[in-house]
Amino acid sequence: MTDLANATSDINNIIGANVAEYSQWTQESMVDGSTIIYNLSDDTEYHLTAAQMDTFNQAYADGLVNSTPEALTAVLLNDMIDLEQGTYDQEKEALTDAAKEIATVTEIAEMLVDGDQQTKINAEAYATENDLRAIKESSRQKFNTSISGMLEASITKNMIEGYAQDAVVIDVIAGAFMATNTVMDFFMNTSVSIDELSPTQLNLDWNDHAVGVNSFMYEVYTANPQQHLEMQPR
């Protein structure tokens, strides 16, 4: 909307500040007894040119097209793609942390296997002092949860990206928040998730409302052999 903002500002300046300035100095010539005679070309700089009008009209037309319920829904879905990317990155970081926690124990195990007697004694003492005598259940859970979270974020991101290209999906979502008169609630509070019973369905939830959508784009995306990954239960 930057182009529209700039074009609107230009037009408002022409019909506002410029008109006020023009009216002020031309009014001076209308005072009784005034003999000021301006040149006929003096008004040119105050004209609204065809180019200025066309620039505004094009930006305005684009703004109108991009302000329909369907267009704004598409924008929100694109924003959700970025959110899923952020979730993926967070889960990846958590996975790295969990792997480091587990690696701390396996490093000690390697000392027990390959080290000399003094190394083994030191390793056992270190493990005891630092509560590293076993891989913790919390580390295992964190590791597995992060793996599942990364995959879920990846699948959700790609489903959103694919479904956003389906006009039927866009229409269904837009129709849902328009029919319930919950426009702002939808755009401010919507969360997206994969349906637990139907992995091809995306659910959008906002406050007391929800809509589920399926799309032929799911098959288009999963046609790639590299996409044939199944979510692992947490």
Residue 205 phi/psi, 5-degree rounding, is -120, 135
Q: What is the pLDDT of residue 23?
A: 79
**Residue 188, CA atoms < 13 Å, CB-side half-sphere:** 5
Please give the Cα distance from 144 to 94 (Å, whole number): 10
In three-state secondary structure terms, 47 is coil
Higher pLDDT, 233 or 211: 211
- 197-214 pLDDT, tens digit per residue, is 999 999 999 998 999 999
- 152-168 pLDDT, tens digit per residue, is 999 999 999 999 999 99
User: pTM for the full model?
Assistant: 0.75
In three-state secondary structure terms, 172 is helix
Q: What is the pLDDT of residue 134?
A: 96
Residues counted in the chain: 234
Average of pLDDT values for 45-64? 91
Amino acid at 118: Q
Please give the Cα distance from 188 to 66 (Å, whole number): 18
Quick check: 230 pLDDT over 50?
no
For the CA atoms of 168, 174, 180, 184, the dihedral, rounded to the nearest 10 degrees, stands at 160
Residue 39 phi/psi, 5-degree rounding, is -80, 150
Please give the Cα distance from 49 to 53 (Å, whole number): 6
Please give the Cα distance from 4 to 62 (Å, whole number): 8
Please give the Cα distance from 162 to 178 (Å, whole number): 23
**Residue 66, CA atoms < 13 Å, CB-side half-sphere:** 12
Q: What is the pLDDT of residue 227?
A: 47
Residue 204 phi/psi, 5-degree rounding, is -110, 125
Q: What is the pLDDT of residue 188?
A: 95
Q: Which of 7-16, 141-150, 171-180, 224-233 has the lowest mean pLDDT?
A: 224-233
Q: What is the pLDDT of residue 122?
A: 96
Instruction: Judge contact between 25 and 42, C-beta under 8 A.
Output: no
Contacts of 180 (CB under 8 A, 6+ apart): 209
Average of per-residue pLDDT values in the chain: 88
Q: What is the pLDDT of residue 40?
A: 60
- Model confidence band, residue 225 (pLDDT cutoffs 50, 70, 90): very low
- 122-138 pLDDT, tens digit per residue, is 999 999 999 999 999 99
- What count of other Cβ atoms lies within 10 Å of the Cβ of residue 23? 11
Quick check: 223 pLDDT over 60?
no
- Model confidence band, residue 14 (pLDDT cutoffs 50, 70, 90): confident
- Model confidence band, residue 51 (pLDDT cutoffs 50, 70, 90): very high
Please give the Cα distance from 164 to 78 (Å, whole number): 8
- 92-125 pLDDT, tens digit per residue, is 999 999 999 999 999 999 999 999 999 999 999 9
Average of pLDDT values for 25-35? 67
In three-state secondary structure terms, 224 is coil
